[in-house]
Structure 1
Amino acid sequence: MSKHAKNWILGIIGLVLGLLWLFPFYLIITNSFKTPKGIFSSVIGLPVGGTFGNYTQAWAALDFIRSLFNSLTITIVSVVLICLASAMAAYAIQRNHSKISNVILMLFVAAMLIPFQSVMIPLTTIFGKVQMLNIPGLIFMYLGFGASLSIFLYQGAIAGIPEALDEAATIEGAGPGRIFFTIILPMLNPMTVTVAVLNIVWIWNDYLLPSLVLPQSGYTIPLQTFFFFGQFTKQWNLALAGLMLGILPVVVFYFFAQRWIIKSVTDGSVK
């Protein structure tokens, strides 16, 4: 088979896979403009007489401004704390060559294997006793659950940074804190972007943990969307419009941050 034919086959396969990946988004977008009758009569078809009425109703039902503020607060604060604390912990573990450091790293790795469902009841019970079933308590939980994978990723990245840089900075009179924040942390930008994206996707879309922790005044967008599904009725048109409203902030974030994301990934691949 010629190289030209192989390129054509690979292109067709890529196109088919791309269409399959985009198909769920097509369903969400088209059905968010339909009436309930229109959805059940034709799920795949284009909306007939589409209207933005679903979006205005979903906006009001979601209490979107408050829900968006809660989601943004929880996600931004949690991700910043996870990145900063995990990078510092990974730096201390990697640069401290001892058996204790290896044991601590293995404990963090082992913690990734513990399913959340096995600890959610005692966790919420303990936090309830200390009056921490609120947004700050949820952020603290995210820091604990997100640290294991983040430390593991940061530790591997720091292992590739020569210790000679630390030694040279120490000779110049820099302390551990200054070495970390002025030398090590900037070199971790590609990994920081990776860790941030992974945690943003997880925290922004999380439903189970916030549903156990947050009072109604602190509900995020995923929690508010659940109210479209009642015991006897399911408002799919409003739910899909609400999902689109929930996806939109992430799309806007990527649109404005793609230059830094691509740059960080490129820098990491070059290194």
Structure 2
Amino acid sequence: MIGRRARKRLIAAEGMLLVVSVAFLYPLALALMNSLKTMNDILMNMGSLPREYVWSNYETAWNVLNFPRALLNSLLIDVFSVLGVTLISAMCAYQIVRRSGRFNRAMFGLFVASMVIPFHAIMIPLVQVLRELGMINSLHGIVFAYWGLSLAFAIFLYHGFVKALPYEIEEAALIDGASVYSVFFRIVLPLLKPITVTVVIINALWIWNDFLLPMIVLQGPDNRTIQVAINTMFGQYMKRWDVALPGIVMSLAPSVLFFLLMQRQIVEGISSGGIKG
């Protein structure tokens, strides 16, 4: 009797997961189907299969959106933003935990408190600061902005993980003559691999798919990310779905592939962080 109940619950849970999966995958399938239609077919019936597969839509989107340039901009922003956030937050969390004074505890409290501030509340001041620093309409400017916006949550994740690391290993290395930087990069940072993978994946996917910050910071056509380039296909009197949808599919491909390759690591990282934190 117990086995039958458990089997029924398992079937019900799998059914719910199937429904949720279909709900999430349907928009992606809709975008993929309509990316292969003509503009008239898209306007006539978006929910139907293509009557003819117009593969040239992808070539048109590649040229009209200047996709290679937009892809390069997105990759540069994503890579340097994630590298900076990962390194700075790991070092900061290590310093806060190992030098636990009043100042460091207060700083950690400020980092945690800043996580509840919505981006829209600081959007205008952020743009003004970037303008004063001469970083508007530049890739290094938006990378700098992503560092500031991402550090608080990354430090919070690293903080709980560093607290669980045994200090005896570091102490033995210091006694043997290793410097603080040598201890961090050779001993501590490799031990932080599970949570590092989590930080990398979360920030990489968020920055890759972000639209609002690049829209307000990167104003020149040569600095557009993929999302901003796709947005240029939608105006007050023009909506080029036959170009935008192939661009959307091409922009999703790198992030979906990255997530599929790293999904096991993110689950292990979150589990390890929750246990050790």
TM-score scaled by length of structure 2: 0.90
1:252–1:8 CA distance, 2 compared to 1 (3 A): closer
Aligned pair 1:216/2:221, yes or no?
Answer: yes
- 1:267 CA drift (Å): 7.1
Whole-angstrom distance in 2 between the partners of 1:233 and 1:43? 18
- 1:24 CA drift (Å): 1.3
* CA RMSD between the two structures: 1.9
Aligned sequence identity (%)? 38
- 1:82 CA drift (Å): 0.4
Whole-angstrom distance in 1 between the partners of 2:222 and 2:101? 47
Aligned pair 1:145/2:117, yes or no?
Answer: no
Correspondent of 1:207 among 193, 208, 211: 211
Secondary structure at the residue paired with 1:119?
Answer: helix
1:15–1:252 CA distance, 2 compared to 1 (3 A): closer
Secondary structure at the residue paired with 1:232?
Answer: coil
What whole-Å deviation, never above 9, does each CA across 1:114-145 have from its counterpart, x for those lacking one?
Answer: 22222222322232233211111111111111
Structure-to-structure mapping, 1:86-235, within 5 angstroms: 86-133=89-136, 134-214=138-218, 215-235=220-240
Name structure 2 gaps, 5 residues minimum. Answer: none
Higher mean alpha-carbon deviation, 184-193 vs 8-17, is at 8-17
The equivalent of 1:22 in structure 2 is 25
Do the aligned residues in 2 keep the contact of 1:189 with 1:264 (CA within 8 Å)? Answer: no
- 1:176 CA drift (Å): 1.2
Whole-angstrom distance in 2 between the partners of 1:208 and 1:236? 20
Correspondent of 1:72 among 75, 86, 97: 75
Name structure 1 gaps, 5 residues minimum. Answer: none
1:126–1:264 CA distance, 2 compared to 1 (3 A): closer
- 1:181 CA drift (Å): 0.6
Aligned pair 1:43/2:46, yes or no?
Answer: yes
Do the aligned residues in 2 keep the contact of 1:190 with 1:265 (CA within 8 Å)? Answer: no
Whole-angstrom distance in 1 between the partners of 2:7 and 2:256? 36
- 1:177 CA drift (Å): 0.7
Whole-angstrom distance in 1 between the partners of 2:183 and 2:128? 41
Do the aligned residues in 1 keep the contact of 2:96 with 2:108 (CA within 8 Å)? Answer: yes
The equivalent of 1:262 in structure 2 is 264
Higher mean alpha-carbon deviation, 212-221 vs 59-68, is at 212-221
What whole-Å deviation, never above 9, does each CA across 1:41-85 have from its counterpart, x for those lacking one?
Answer: 222221111111211111111101111111100100010000000
Q: Which AA in structure 2 matches 1:30?
A: M
Do the aligned residues in 1 keep the contact of 2:38 with 2:242 (CA within 8 Å)? Answer: yes
Aligned pair 1:63/2:66, yes or no?
Answer: yes
TM-score scaled by length of structure 1: 0.92
1:172–1:120 CA distance, 2 compared to 1 (3 A): same
